[in-house]
Amino acid sequence: MIYRTPEYCLDFRCIAGDCRDSCCKGWEIDIDSETAEKYAAISGEFGERLRRSIKNNSFILTEDERCPFLNREGLCDIYINLGRESLCHICSEHPRYFEWFGSVKEGGTGLCCEASAKLILSRPFTLCEKKVPDEEASGDYDEELFSMLLEARKAMLVVANDEDIPIGRALIQVLDIAEETQQYIEIPGTLKRKVCYEKNTIKEIFRCFYELEPIDASWLPYISKCDEAFPSAPPYSGEYNPYIRRIVSYFIFRYAMKSVYDGRILGYTVFAAVSAVFISWLFRCGAVAEQPCGFEECALIAKNYSKETEYCEENMEKLLELFETEPFFASEALKAVIAESFGENVGEI
Ligand code: SF4
């Protein structure tokens, strides 16, 4: 089968002990049944330690929510003692994500990981393909819809990465493609919404993010500080354009094809566009003395945003519902917010 992935993902390496927000902290880690069986059969002192540290097929986190096998050097004791092949499914895959469509497998590395976020923001978005052994993991889907979505995604990625198209205009064109595609899919009600655009729409969008379940305790105080600072934040700087184009491409690549199973192309694309807009606001709030936020800070902001949204199933579902129902996410309203956010002319929409 064919494996399709953004080129930069081939260079992904976990930075382990140098990671400032290790995925081995703060998350519940479920152990798949195959690995659980393997762990049950490990003998000796390490086997005892393994069994003492597992309850209900999850690792028992320490008081400060660390995986009990994450050592003080930031390295994994299971990896050190038993080798990579003994990691459970989640630990050996994360932050990689995969999706299967018949004879095609797609995947990449997620924005929620510090090392991956830096790759995503620093490299142009280019896809590559290679042959891999067959895997049977795909669900049933409509081939015709699949081809249409593939074309639509291709068009969106071309637009998002065309530097001759101003960033706001590019996001609006991406939304137009998604809207047209959604019309073909014909989910009743998806496109019928009252448009509501007023100056306080930006406040309303911030409010949506307050409603999510926080993953990290510092997230809500952080966005609340940004919300307050936003009216006096410097205007959008063109220096962020490459980052915004790459972030939006990541979201489009990762989510658009999921609509072959659930028909939510517009919802996923609005997610990509709102994410780009919201992250650009956070970049602006992170600017110091009118100096645009630097690369490291931008990658950190994008990583935190990803962790709080797409890496929590409930939060992602809540956002998709809001994007599909709230009047201020209706196409025309959202386009006005996009134009305003990137310093482009609202009147020209
Ligand atoms: S978040 Fe990424 S870089 Fe950090 S420990 Fe996990 S995989 Fe490694």
Determine the residue of 22, 90, 118, 307 to mutate for testing ligand 1's pocket, defined as the one with the most ligand atoms within 8 A of the Cβ atom: 22
Task: Show which of 75, 93, 111 is a domain's final residue.
Answer: 93
Which residue lies with its CA nearest to atom 6 of ligand 1?
23
Final residue before a domain boundary, out of 58, 74, 93: 93
Task: Supply the residue whose CA is at minimum distance from atom 7 of ligand 1.
Answer: 14
Q: Which pLDDT score is estimated for 188?
A: 52
Q: Enumerate the H helices of the chain as residue ranges.
A: 33-40, 44-52, 77-82, 89-93, 114-122, 143-160, 167-185, 201-210, 219-229, 241-255, 259-262, 265-286, 295-308, 313-325, 331-341
Q: Are 177 and 152 in contact (CB under 8 A)?
A: yes
Name the nearest CA neighbour of 129 among 250, 261, 10.
10
Asked whether residue 169 falls in the same domain as residue 28, the answer is no
What is the per-residue pLDDT for 145?
A: 93
**Within-domain flag for 124:** no
For 66-119, how does the pLDDT look when each residue is reduced to its tens digit (9 = 90+)?
Answer: 999 999 888 999 999 999 999 999 999 999 999 999 999 999 999 999 999 999
Distance 250 CA to ligand 1 centre (A): 18
259 with 333, same domain: the answer is yes
Selection from 283, 296, 166 nearest residue 233 by Cα: 283
Reported confidence tier of residue 187, pLDDT bands at 50, 70, 90: low
Q: What is the pLDDT of residue 222?
A: 94
**258: in domain:** yes
Measured CA to CA, the distance from residue 3 to residue 220 in angstroms comes to 38
Gap between the Cα atoms of 219 and 213, Å rounded: 10
CA of 302 to the centre of ligand 1 (A): 15
Q: What is the pLDDT of residue 137?
A: 74
The CA-based angle 141-144-150, given to 5 degrees, is 90
- Does residue 100 fall inside a structural domain? no
- Specify whether 63 is located in the same domain as 193: no
Least reliable range by pLDDT among 31-35, 300-304, 323-327: 323-327
> 43 is in which domain, residue-wise?
24-93
The answer to whether residues 75 and 210 belong to one domain is: no
Domain membership of residue 252 (yes or no) is yes
| Nearest protein CA to atom 5 of ligand 1, as residue | 22
* Predicted local confidence at residue 35, as pLDDT: 95
- Structural domain count of the chain: 2
Task: Name the DSSP class of 2.
Answer: E
Q: 137 by DSSP, 3-state: which?
A: coil
Site to substitute for ligand 1 among 9, 11, 13, 14, most atoms within 8 A of C-beta = 14
Give the separation between CA 103 and CA 74, rounded to whole angstroms.
38
pLDDT value at residue 16: 85
What is the C-alpha separation between 171 and 238, in angstroms, rounded?
A: 15
**Going by C-beta distance under 8 Å and a sequence separation of 6 or more, which residues neighbour residue 89?**
32, 34, 35
> What per-residue confidence (pLDDT) applies to 24?
92
Per-residue pLDDT band for 6 (boundaries 50, 70, 90) equals very high
Tell me the C-alpha distance between 300 and 297, whole Å: 5
pLDDT of the residue at 72: 87
Which backbone phi and psi does 131 adopt, to 5 degrees?
-85, 135
Token pair of 110 as six digits: 């997620």
**Is the same domain home to 68 and 168?**
no
Lowest mean pLDDT among 164-168, 177-181, 324-328, 335-339: 324-328
Ligand 1 centre distance from Cα of residue 15 (Å): 6
| Contact between 273 and 171 (Cβ < 8 Å) | yes
Q: Is the pLDDT of residue 315 over 60?
A: yes
The domain boundary, picked from 70, 93, 116, lies at 93
Residue 345: its pLDDT value, please? Answer: 66
Kindly report, residue by residue over 248-283, the tens digit of the pLDDT: 999 999 999 999 999 999 999 999 999 999 999 999
Rounded-to-integer distance, Cα 153 and Cα 204, Å: 29
Same structural domain, 89 and 148: no
Rounded to whole angstroms, the Cα distance separating 202 from 52 reads 50
Q: How far is the CA of 90 from the centre of ligand 1 (A)?
A: 12
- pLDDT of 197 higher than 80: no
The pLDDT tens digits for 109-166 are: 999 999 999 999 999 999 999 999 998 777 788 999 999 999 999 999 999 999 999 9
**Ligand 1 closest atom vs CA 19:** 4
Report pLDDT for 203: 81
Distance CA 86, CA 103 (A): 28
For the segment 11-59, what is each residue's pLDDT rounded down to a tens digit? 999 998 899 999 999 888 899 999 999 999 999 999 999 999 999 999 9
**Which residue minimizes the CA distance to atom 2 of ligand 1?**
113
Does residue 117 lie within any of the structural domains?
A: no
Q: What was the pLDDT predicted at 98?
A: 95
Is 103 among the domain residues?
no
Q: Which residue has the higher pLDDT, 175 or 16?
A: 175
Q: DSSP letter string over 294-344? A: PHHHHHHHHHHHHHHTTTSHHHHHHHHHHHHH-GGGSHHHHHHHHHHHTT-
Asked if the structure places residue 18 within a domain, the reply is no
Q: Are residues 240 and 175 in the same domain?
A: yes
Q: State residue 258's pLDDT score.
A: 96
Whether residues 62 and 150 share a domain: the answer is: no
| Domain match, 85 and 233 both | no
> Do 328 and 180 share a structural domain?
yes
Identify the residue whose C-alpha is closest to ligand 1 atom 8. Answer: 14
- In-domain check, residue 16: no
Give the single-character DSSP code of 200.
T
Mean pLDDT calculated for residue range 212-225: 93
pLDDT at 191 over 90: no
Residues 75 and 166 in one domain: no
User: Of 185, 189, 161, which Cα lies nearest the Cα of 324?
Assistant: 189
Ligand 1 neighbours, Cβ below 6 Å, are 14-16, 19, 22-23, 94-95, 113-115
Q: Please say if the pLDDT value at position 348 is more than 60.
A: no
Please indicate, yes or no, whether residues 290 and 167 belong to a single structural domain of this protein: yes
